[in-house]
Amino acid sequence: MKKKKLNLRDLNKTSSDNHKRNDGHNQSNLEKLGNFRTYLPAIFSFVMLIAGIAFDYFDAFPFFKGWVRIAWYAVAYIPVGFPVIKEGWESIKDGDFFTEFFLMSIATLGAFAIGEYPEGVAVMLFYAVGELFQNAAVKRAKGNIKALLDVRPNEAMVYRNGDYVSVNPETVQIGEKIQVRVGEKIPLDGKLLSEKASVNTAAITGESKPDTIAKGEKVFAGSINLDGVIEIETTKEFKDSSIARILDMVQNATARKSKTELFIRKFARIYTPIVVFLAVCLTFLPYFFVDGYVFQDWLYRALIFLVISCPCALVISIPLGYFGGLGAASRNGILFKGASFLDAVTQVNTVVMDKTGTVTHGVFKIKNAVVNNGALSEAEMMKYLMAMEEQSTHPIAKAILEYKADGSHYGATNVSEVAGKGLKGMVNGKTVLVGNKALMTSNGIEVPSKTDAIVESIVMVAIDGKFAGYVTIADELKEDAHLAIKQIRDAGISKIIMLSGDKDSITQQVAKELNIDWAKGGLLPEDKLDEVETLKKRPDSKIAFIGDGINDAPVLAISDVGIAMGGLGSDVAIETADVIIQTDQPSKIARAIKIGRSTRRIVWQNIGLAFGVKIIVMILGAMGMATMWEAVFADVGVAFLAILNAIRLQKMKWD
């Protein structure tokens, strides 16, 4: 049971709320008590085993003989042995004979049958302890994944019947107005009605830097309001909010097994009956080939063989490694839709990326303002330009209007649009033309030839029939774009390609600036699809495509690994891509590859460790050179080391 979490508002509530807090505290104590009870059978068996071994060793207790000794070790065995035997019996009833529970039951009961009581108890005790460690580690790994995104608020203050009332977020409808106080989580996706808001999106993106949201902009469920009471109009139901869908995706990711995981599970089902058959052969076949055959000696060797062959270390530590990888990625703002994609990303050798929204912000900005021959100042020219652009709704006009001009603003009159060319109007009694070169030429205005070499979008200005200057408009590179390309190369990716719907000249310029191997612009979504399909036909080609998750959905779907710059609300990204970069930072691409490789490396280390140790001890046991004590310590030790190795993923850093 989860302890109730409190926010600042809870501190001022009534004694009824205090009672609830006490209930939460009591629940926490009950949880701790439950955890202790889980370990109690193993503790009891351990104490009984140590006492029994002491009685045997010191030989100072004459009563510890015969049936008393057998009963003592039987009592020590039952708390840890009975659950395993029961589980084995249930599996047999379900038609699954050869499980690790069956192996451990046969091995330990066999040890009792030949009089090796302490070893029988020890084998089952250490197996039970190993299972407890494994279950605790898996629980922690799953808990870490869930805790990363389990930030769904449990209440929403919604405006109904003239007042704000607290309701379950699932009951809030689209278009209703909600209020969020300082320190509270935003319960649903919506648009901000207040003038501004400062929110912490760390629970969703992994980035702790606060974001400032302006009136009318989107806000997302799971973010924390940092400054003042804000009001929001909901745009999605709770079940469709970005945080609810992302949480569902991450939880379901653990169900999508990797090929390695699926192989090991299938292998264990074949491997276990083979081991049982070999143990039977090891018991009886020596009768025909060995002089002085002693059944009890060879049975003991077979029991050692069974103990060490138990596949539990493999079956548990491998999924635990993938849990660790998924959790580590989520903490870094990277969501893998399944363990299979952790494997797939390690095989990528070609990265294909979109431009707009992937390595650029997708927002126009003034890059340069140039005045012709000093006819007037830059600020003066910009005032004329801004006066005209105030009459336009074009995205380029919005970028121009962000220019900070000192002094009073000019006003434009008689503004008319010249289709496909620009605007014509009057400012301060002067005729002003604003637009492309075609507009200037059609009005007999001479344009400097140097403008022909400009690849960015260009807006020219003419005042009273004379060329006044121009501004260039460009989409800004993301702050970490250069770093992203460098890190992708450092990660061993041999080829980086850019495919964009933007003008080819702009695409080539961006590709050159970022040192990208090959680029092509002016592409429609279907053109991008054709290009990637052509690349996939190359032998040994494994392609990751990175896009914004909207126009690039078809390419994301057919790539070996589709990586979406999902941001905080891209529905198409969540639906289509295999991997989602929540922060929209391209530098996270290389980190995703590194996390996948670290996960795969640890999984294969565990496989090698488990098989290596088991084969050595199995051979030694069959030759009579290892006892059951060594077998159980080798088995439990391997499992424990594999768990510790898998847990390392949750502590690693990838810079």
By annotation, the residues acting in catalysis are 354
SS3 of residue 487 by DSSP: helix
Alpha-helix residue ranges (DSSP H) falling in 14-116: 15-58, 66-93, 100-113
Tokens of 291: 């002089």
Q: Which pairs with CB-CB distance under 8 Å and at least 24 residues apart come from 202-209?
A: 203/148, 203/149, 203/151, 203/243, 204/149, 204/151, 204/242, 204/243, 204/246, 204/568, 204/582, 205/333, 205/568, 205/582, 205/583, 206/330, 206/331, 206/332, 206/333, 206/334, 206/582, 206/583, 207/333, 207/583
Q: Sheet of 224-225: strands edge to edge?
A: 211-214, 196-200, 224-225
Pair 589, 598: CB distance under 8 Å? no
Neighbour-count burial of 630, counting CB atoms closer than 10 A to its CB (0-12 exposed, 13-18 middle, 19+ buried): middle
Tokens of 552: 């690039």
Tokens of 545: 């495509």
Pairing, β 422-427 against β 495-499: unpaired
Helix, strand, coil fractions of the chain, as percent rounded to 5: 55, 15, 30
Q: What gap in Å lies between CA 470 and CA 18, rounded to an integer?
A: 67
Q: Sheet of 422-427: strands edge to edge?
A: 360-371, 466-477, 457-463, 430-435, 422-427, 412-418
Question: What is the sign, positive or negative, of the torsion defined by CA atoms of 436, 438, 442, 447?
Answer: positive
For residue 354, the tally of other CB atoms under 10 A from its CB is 28
Instruction: Annotate 545-567 with three-state secondary structure.
Output: EEECCCCCHHHHHHCCEEEECCC
Tokens of 165: 């009332």
Tokens of 505: 């000249």
For residue 123, the tally of other CB atoms under 10 A from its CB is 31
Q: What gap in Å lies between CA 588 and CA 591, rounded to an integer?
A: 5
Q: String of b and e for 141-176 (b: at least 16 CB within 10 Å)?
A: bbebbeebbebbbeebbbeeeeeeeebebeebeeeb
How crowded is the C-beta side of 332, counted as CA atoms within 13 Å? 28
Q: String of b and e for 257-274 (b: at least 16 CB within 10 Å)?
A: bbebbeebeeebeeebee
Tokens of 446: 């001479």
Pair 313, 264: CB distance under 8 Å? no
Q: DSSP letters of 128-174? A: HHHHHHHHHHHHHHHHHHHHHH----S-EEEEETTEEEEE-GGGPPT
Pair 107, 85: CB distance under 8 Å? no
Query: Where do we find the tokens 């080939």?
Result: 289
How crowded is the C-beta side of 151, counted as CA atoms within 13 Å? 23
Helices 100-113 and 66-93 meet at what angle, rounded to 10? Answer: 160
